[in-house]
């Protein structure tokens, strides 16, 4: 039985993804990404490292890091308004603990996408294709988010990251 207001199609996709790639190695990698992305701490640490190493653009790195943390905070605010519960279906295995029972949007997806956009702008590297898909997929593999949770989180992080990146480019 699926949760009220959760389309059966989302539960089916979640269950299929877990069945197809939820092998021990993938689950271990997903748990590592989960730990790194918890409360955007790993992304904040990388931003602070960028500020320490790239002294010429220290201010930009600090603003970008603040942007990643602001994107994370925005996702938390949206979660509290939407109040969508995390997956609770017998066909879905929850493979990691979470700090809240709220699912929409994925804060991991939000902060990861914001970090990829912002830090990619500072490094000149296309970080979005390298960083975002693994984090989004990891949240589904771990059974803690529906597909629309990670897509919405990524869209939110991308929008906020792009807005700040544009502002950083104008100074």
- Band (pLDDT 50/70/90 cuts) for residue 2 is very low
- Condensed to tens digits (0 to 9), the pLDDT of residues 123-155 reads 999 999 999 999 999 999 999 999 999 999 999
CA 158/CA 163 separation, integer angstroms: 9
- Band (pLDDT 50/70/90 cuts) for residue 170 is low
| Mean pLDDT over the full length of the chain | 92
pTM: 0.91
- Condensed to tens digits (0 to 9), the pLDDT of residues 51-96 reads 999 999 999 999 999 999 999 999 999 999 999 999 988 888 888 9
Instruction: Please state which of the four CATH numbers 3.40.50.300, 3.10.50.40, 3.90.1150.10, 1.10.606.20 is assigned to the domain occupying 8-169.
Output: 1.10.606.20
| Phi, psi angles (nearest 5°) of residue 102 | -95, 145
pLDDT for the residue numbered 168 = 75
């Amino acid at each position: 039985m699926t949760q009220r207001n959760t389309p059966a199609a989302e539960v089916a996709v979640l269950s299929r993804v877990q069945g197809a790639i939820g092998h021990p190695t993938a689950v271990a990698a997903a748990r590592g990404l989960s730990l790194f992305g918890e409360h955007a701490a790993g992304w904040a640490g990388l931003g602070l490292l960028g500020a320490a190493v790239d002294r010429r653009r220290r201010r930009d790195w600090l603003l970008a890091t603040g942007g990643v943390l602001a994107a994370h905070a925005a996702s938390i605010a949206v979660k509290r308004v939407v109040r969508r519960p995390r997956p609770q279906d017998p066909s879905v295995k929850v493979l990691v603990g979470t700090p809240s029972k709220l699912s929409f949007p994925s804060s991991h997806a939000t902060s990861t996408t914001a970090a990829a956009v912002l830090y990619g702008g500072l490094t000149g590297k296309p970080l979005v294709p390298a960083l975002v898909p693994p984090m989004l997929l990891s949240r589904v593999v771990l059974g803690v988010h529906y597909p629309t949770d990670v897509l919405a989180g990524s869209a939110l992080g991308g929008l906020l990251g792009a807005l700040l990146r544009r502002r950083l480019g104008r100074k």
